[in-house]
Structure 1
Amino acid sequence: PTRKDGVSYVLRIEGRPYTVRLQQQGFLLFFCSRFFISDDFKIYTYNKNGSLRSDSPRIKGGCHYRGYVEGFPSSAVTLSTCSGLRGFLQFENVSYGIEPLGLSAFEYFVYRVSDKKVAGSLLATSLDGSEPGGPTAEEMTREAQGGDQVSGLCPRGWQVTPIESRVIFQFNYLGADDYVVTQKIVQVSSLLNTMFRSFNLTIMLSAMEIWMDDGTFQKTGDGGDVLVRLLQWKQSSPVLQPHEVPYLLLYRDRAAFVGATALGKACQRDATGAVAVYQRSVTLESFSVLLAQLLARSLGINYDNPKKCRCPGSICIMTLEALCVGGAKAFSKCSIREFKTFLVRNKNCPFIRHTLRHPSYRVTVCGNGVVEPGEQCDCGAAEACALDTCCTPRCKFKPGMQCSLGLCCENCQFKRKNSQCRPAADAQCDLAEFCNGSSASCPPDLYVQDGHGCERGTGYCYRGHCQSPDLQCQALYGRGARNAPLACYEEVNSHQDRFGNCGKHPKDGYQPCSWPNLECGKLVCAFPNHIPFTKAKGAIIYAQVQEHLCVSFDFMRGPTELDPLLVKEGTKCGPGKVCINGTCQPHAVLQYDCNVQEKCHGHGVCNNQKNCHCDPGWSPPHCKTRGSSIGGSIDSALGPDDSTGRSMKKWLLLSLGGILPVLVCGTIVVLKRRRLKR
């Protein structure tokens, strides 16, 4: 091996030798999982009586590898050496499975994944000896009520940061041996992480649950129905952690759908989860692609349009054909772009925040694609490093290069000082960030301090957005709309139905609004015309209250989605009042303590670090003196404008250019006069 923790194998496949280059994916769980297995991984079992038993198996984490086949840059290899050689070799359009031969740790057999007689099937055994049933639906997608549902796996004959996931499945369908089942799930997780490597995203397997009966909740119906019940069960689970994403693996002989998830809702804790259907003929490889598609859909990634999306290989993950075709698969440029958009729009995503609060203490590994302590960069596997212009395979910068990643890195060099790296997401309440010229990282996200007034006094800044009910009404109905008066809220939100409520509980239905909290429930707007303009699909009601036309709207949405017409957190609900957790509370709960006239001399606002962020043309820290053309704060890491420095240099050169000739001419005249006197 050329690198630490690197392994090479020479495997003979169909009479031809192939060299496999591998890099370690994990370490023993005793030290903390390196990638995709949680260090406190547990198996929970519900027996037929409904009682819960937990077990903490010692699963080896240091024997999982991923890599490539030498000479095949588009290949992907995912192998485990924990108990013999086991895994997959994926070329561009064909895959091979590797299994130990009997109990031997040194003998193995290799097979094409398309062979349905081999051991690569997801199921343990045939349940009743009958022929496997094919899917009943066509290859198509449709929106399921309550989520995004994928219909139709493959035609008959085809065989195919970290997000903490909990796998739940039915007893006997994956096998009755906990160890064998765990190895299969770990193998699927390894394949899943190989596919999400381009996102620099880790899907961590935190727990498994085995249900030995169907007493938890009803699992019949279409994907949307089962997903709704799973999300309702999630609220009452005694062991499911808030940051975990449950995946229910559901067996069906014949199914009209193969998966369901809530589109783009990975950051909503009450809507995160997925249902995946496996059948007798489905292989681990194909099933891992299905799980990857479901997870990607929850991350806001759409299916690829073949005419518009470029794929780095022969087939992209976000295509229906990916479920039916073997071989290595990757996300398209479209998918990567949509994932970046999702991250920008969900900066406070719970699973991202959880990851940041719980750092893992790991041994640095060069070649895993993640920049860790002691590394300048990490270009990943050898085939990726060969194409990298900034980084060497030894995780060092190439000569003359300063960076490889980051919002302030461009063409392997730091961006110029004071170059904008993160524009303001909200014109009134968010603040732009700028590069400091000496780092590849964009400074931490800054925004106007919570509680600062915005939108002409109708709202408050909250988490970087102006939460004004007027703006919320205008976003829905158009520029003429505005927040309704209290009388409208009294009329509409007292009905406790889909048009007027203070939230919805999975069991108790629509919640009533107490009088003090009327303006923190369903958004009610006033509109000057009888027919408000909106492109949204839904039902609308009107209520004439005094001289006001009150309008309420109900979106046509699935039961897994939160009502987008509930008044947003941090919205103003009266003079000196703000909506927090659906209740109207005093403005003081936001702890706003900035007097911009005194502290920032009327030339700036306070940011979320409670420091002055100066308007353009004024200098921090107190915005008292004129200076920077950008403004900013002491948290912005801004320096003097390069343009100012260059202008000063030009002025000096011009001055010297004008003065020097005069001095020279004056000296010549004086010398001539002296000569004449002599």
Structure 2
Amino acid sequence: MTYSGYFIWIFFFSRGVIADSVRSLPHVMKYQPVIPQRLRDSSLINDAATHQTYPDVLQYSLAIAGQNYTLYLEKNKDLVGKTFSVTHYSDQGTQVTSTPDLGVHCYYHGHIVGVEDSSASIGLCSGIKGFVRLRDQMYLIEPLAGTEAGQQDNRQNSEPHSDEGLHAVYNYKHLRRKRSSCSHGNTTTFYDHGAHPSGLFQLSSLKSSAQIKDRTGKPRTVELVVVVDNTEYKKFGSKKTIVARVLEVVNHVDKLYRPMGVRVMLVGLDIWSDRDHIEVSSVPEVTLGRFLKWRQQNLLPRTKHDNAQFITGVDFDGSTVGLANVNAMCTANSGAVNEDHNINSIGVASTMAHEMGHNLGLSHDTESCFCGTSKSKGGCIMSESVGLEYPKQFSSCSRQQLSRFLEEINPACLLDTPSTNRIYGGPVCGNAFLEPGEECDCGTVEECKNPCCNATTCKLAEGAKCAEGECCESCQLKASDSVCRPRAGDCDLIEYCTGFSASCPTDAYTQNGLPCNSGKGYCFNGQCPSREQHCKRLWGPYAHVAADACFSRQGNCRKTFGQRCLSRDQSCGTLFCSGGSEFPVTSSKTYKTLPNGDTCNEAIMKPEDNYPADLPMVPTGTKCGSNMVCYNQRCQDIKSIKAYGTNECSAKCNNHGVCNHENKCHCDHGWAPAFL
């Protein structure tokens, strides 16, 4: 039974609760009062003996929609990085940075025992607050009595079946939300209206095949900084309350991304306690531009991070609550703006997950997308708008897009897996990172789908020889003649399993200088570079090399000083392209139109962009003549360049192999192991 208004008061008095101590919930239309019971499981750690206020594992008995469930919770030990810091500002504008002791915090992830399709994100700092998803329904829980947000209970009670006090449980559809503009009706809130494109859509080809092929399936970590504006700070009234709310938000965002193989770790929080450090406009596009400029000039130089999310208390125009650049992760534009549009943190957490999704290359869901096991088309995180329900999961389309973004675009900053000394508490079984002392780590018991790994102990299952890897199949090592990494191009080599390791041998490629692409190029570091392909990487699949006149009139052969090319080096300097997208992956360009109408487009780099410094230039190794390649922006003879080696190695391979990049024989299959 749900309660509202007058009926709640009857319940309070019948339970002996003083009415004045009960919080009102004006942001909730109706809810069910419950008293969660903390349980003791003899198989869990005896927290009473260790005097842990917030132990690693907890269980609660909780009534949801008239039925009793057991809520299983594990502390999210990867929520914050070890270098996590909070910066606020004195009245005089001086930065004050502190490092809170969050080694023992109160934020958890979990699930409903016995319900496979369930999840939970919970904070226990001041009562029980968070979300619980039961299949395609999401429920919210928050305390009706006790301390305010941001104030810890200081509870030491670890007795079994302890009373956690009166709480409200309600379906998320009953949470009041921001009203939209009249043109969209009054039940729809829009996350953004056409997030801007930004860089990186084909950068995979700039990386070696080893980087792309060896990184698939491994967890990525977004190291996040959250920035809170002055309006938001004043709304909640204290630094402590803001810190608690942001941790609650990021804990929820991390939980949403975990099934996608992405972790979100908070490494910094910047609270504008004195004033706004940019002019925060009600126009989201304007605020986004100003915030990203501030990030580049002020935040990036002092705090290493991958992504920055701005939370504002300003009401954006119309029904929009967030805006972000698409494909911007790991660039100078990696960030978003989010309006905190609901007293419950689920609102801004959902917005942040959505906008970060754009940064990760996700577009809005279409009619063909669904999320959850019920094939529901509603409640997906990348839906363009929120109707009567907040999103619960990423859709099938989002999963495919993220997989493509990670495997093809392969943003470098996410490959920087945090070492255990950067994660609070050191190695943790169940965080999906293989760490010292572990034979495997498939995530939490809830997440683990790997029959070869014991999720509780992070040891191999009985009889298993391996748990993951290109050379692991059905928990056993593959035979030595099994291909584990097929050839990815003219300049790549096939790798075979060794028979004694679950990992594929190190990716090898041909010796530099071998002909490729039907003689149109020469191999260089596993690639067959060309001006034509590089134009497509920079400007999209319909781009091509510009007219020769662009190179002879405009070409520069030095990135820094704009040095003009000698005649023989013109094809090795600045890369000019024609056609393709309006802007390149760097988001900036210059162009010139020749008298005959031909266009010379040049991609421009900004100092703060996280791209290779020579990205706008003709790629190193590009063929510029017979036995001639571009090297240091000059057209040089291959034989004069040390990086191109000699033919001596190939002569030692007895016509049954080729020379690889380490100048060793990479033998044909059946003759001998590679690298002899």
Same fold (TM over 0.5): yes
Letter in 2 for 1:107: G
- Give 1:352's aligned amino acid: L
Contact 1:519–1:567 (Cα < 8 Å) also in 2: no
- When residues 514 and 56 of structure 1 are mapped into structure 2, their CA distance, relative to the original with a 3 A threshold, is same
Change (3 A) 1:170 1:375: same
Q: Given the alignment, which residue of 649, 652, 659 partners 1:599?
A: 649
Q: Check whether the contact 2:282–2:315 (CA below 8 A) recurs between aligned residues.
A: no
Contact 1:68 1:75 in 2 (8 A): yes
Q: Aligned partners of 1:250, 1:86: CA distance in 2, in Å?
A: 22
Q: Does 1:633 align with 2:665?
A: no
Taking the aligned partners of 2:518 and 2:128, their CA distance within structure 1 comes to 67
1:233 aligned to 294, 315, 318, which one?
Answer: 294
Q: Does 1:69 align with 2:117?
A: no
8 Å contact kept, 1:451–1:592: no
Distance 1:140 1:206, change over 3 A: closer
Is 1:195 aligned to residue 256 of structure 2?
yes
How far apart in 1 are the matches of 2:400 and 2:571?
A: 38
Check the 8 A contact 1:469/1:571 in 2, yes or no.
no
Tell me the secondary structure at the aligned position of residue 225 of structure 2.
strand
Change (3 A) 1:144 1:79: closer
- Cα displacement (A) at 1:197: 1.2
3-state SS, counterpart of residue 341 of structure 1: helix
The one-letter amino acid of 1:633's match is: F
Q: Which amino acid aligns with 2:292?
A: L
Q: Describe how 1:233-252 pairs up with structure 2 within 5 A.
A: 233-237=294-298, 239-252=301-314
Query: Which amino acid letter does the alignment assign opposite residue 350 of structure 2?
Result: V
How far apart, in 2, do the equivalents of 1:235 and 1:480 lie? Answer: 30
Describe the superposition over 1:580-618 as per-residue Cα deviations: whole angstroms up to 9, x where unpaired: 7xx769999x9844534112328666555x24253646x
Structure 1 equivalent of residue 74 of structure 2: 23
Paired letter, 1:598: E
1:162 matched to which residue of 2? 221
The answer to whether 1:513 aligns with 2:562 is: yes
1:210 and 2:254 correspond: no
With over 3 angstroms needed to count, the CA separation of the structure-2 counterparts of 1:411 and 1:567, relative to structure 1, is same
Give distance in 2, aligned partners of 1:502 and 1:225.
35
Distance across 2 between alignment mates of 1:423 and 1:359: 35
- 1:232 Cα deviation from its structure 2 partner: 2.3
2:137 counterpart of 1:93:
yes
Question: Which residue pairs with 2:405 in the alignment?
Answer: 342
Task: Confirm or deny: 8 A CA contact 2:228 2:271 kept in the other structure.
Answer: yes
Compare relative contact order (CA 8 Å, sep 6+) and give the higher one, 1 or 2: 2
Letter in 2 for 1:597: N
Aligned twin of 1:667: none
Letter in 2 for 1:232: K
Shift of 1:68: 1.0
What is the aligned residue count? 560
Structure 2 residue ranges without an equivalent (≥5): 1-40, 46-55, 148-152, 156-163, 185-189, 200-219, 584-589
Q: Which residue is equivalent to 2:600?
A: 552
Q: Determine which structure has more spread, i.e. the larger CA radius of gyration.
A: 1
Residue aligning to 1:353: 416
> Secondary structure of 1:421's match?
strand
Q: Under a length normalisation based on structure 1, what TM-score does the superposition of the two structures give? A: 0.69
Instruction: Look up the match of 2:360.
Output: 299
Q: For 2:243, what is the secondary structure of its paired residue?
A: helix
Quick check: 2:173–2:389 contact (8 Å CA) kept in 1? no
Please say if 1:443 is aligned against 2:522: no
Q: Distance in 2 between matches of 1:136 and 1:555?
A: 42
- Structure 2 residue aligned with 1:614, among 655, 661, 666? 666
SS of the residue 2:647 aligns to: helix
Q: Tell me the secondary structure at the aligned position of residue 311 of structure 1.
A: coil
Residues 144 and 368 of structure 1, relative CA distance in 2, 3 Å threshold: closer
Secondary structure of 1:600's counterpart equals: helix
CA contact (8 A) 2:350 2:390 kept: no
Distance 2:644 2:420 in 1: 29
Instruction: Give secondary structure in 2 for the equivalent of 1:417.
Output: coil
Aligned equivalents of 1:341, 1:308: Cα separation in 2: 16
| Equivalent position to 2:62, from 1, 8, 11 | 11
The one-letter code of the counterpart of 1:109 is: H
CA distance in 1, matches of 2:516, 2:230: 56
C-alpha RMSD of matched pairs (Å): 4.6
Task: For 1:87, give the aligned amino acid.
Answer: G
**Residue pair 2:530, 2:623 contacting (<8 A) in 1 also:** no
Cα distance in structure 2, aligned partners of 1:334 and 1:613: 44
- How far is 1:362 from its partner? 5.0
For the residue of structure 1 that corresponds to 2:194, the secondary structure is strand
* C-alpha separation in 2, matches of 1:599 and 1:184: 62
Structure 1 residues 514 and 556, CA gap change in structure 2 (3 angstroms): closer
CA deviations over 1:231-281 (Å, ceiling 9, x no partner):
3222221654344321111333243432222222313x32322222222x3
Alpha carbons of structure 1 residues 94 and 116: separation in structure 2 relative to 1, 3 Å: closer
**What letter is aligned with 1:265?**
A
Q: 1:331 aligns with which of 390, 394, 410?
A: 394
Match of 1:183 among 236, 244, 247: 244
Q: Deviations over 1:358-405 (max 9, x none)?
A: 7658555444455444444445444555x6543445444444444443
Q: Tell me the secondary structure at the aligned position of residue 320 of structure 1.
A: coil
Asked whether the equivalents of residues 90 and 326 of structure 1 are also in contact (C-alpha less than 8 Å), the reply is: no
Residues 431-485 of structure 1: CA deviation (Å, up to 9, x unaligned): 4443333433333444456787755887665554333224435887999966755
Matches within 5 A, 1:112-191: 112=170, 114=172, 134=180, 138=184, 139=190, 142-145=193-196, 161-174=220-233, 175-191=236-252
Q: 1:248 to 1:477 in 2, by over 3 A?
A: closer
- Partner residue of 2:620 out of 570, 589, 600: 570
The alpha-carbon distance between structure 1 residues 477 and 211, as it changes in their structure 2 partners (threshold 3 A), is closer
Runs (5+) with no aligned partner, structure 1: 27-34, 122-131, 149-160, 495-500, 504-510, 526-531, 620-626, 635-678
Matched, 1:523 2:564: no
Which of 375, 379, 390 in structure 1 is aligned with 2:452? 390
1:417/1:437 contact within 8 Å kept: yes
TM-score (norm: length of structure 2): 0.69
Q: 1:579 to 1:601 in 2, by over 3 A?
A: closer
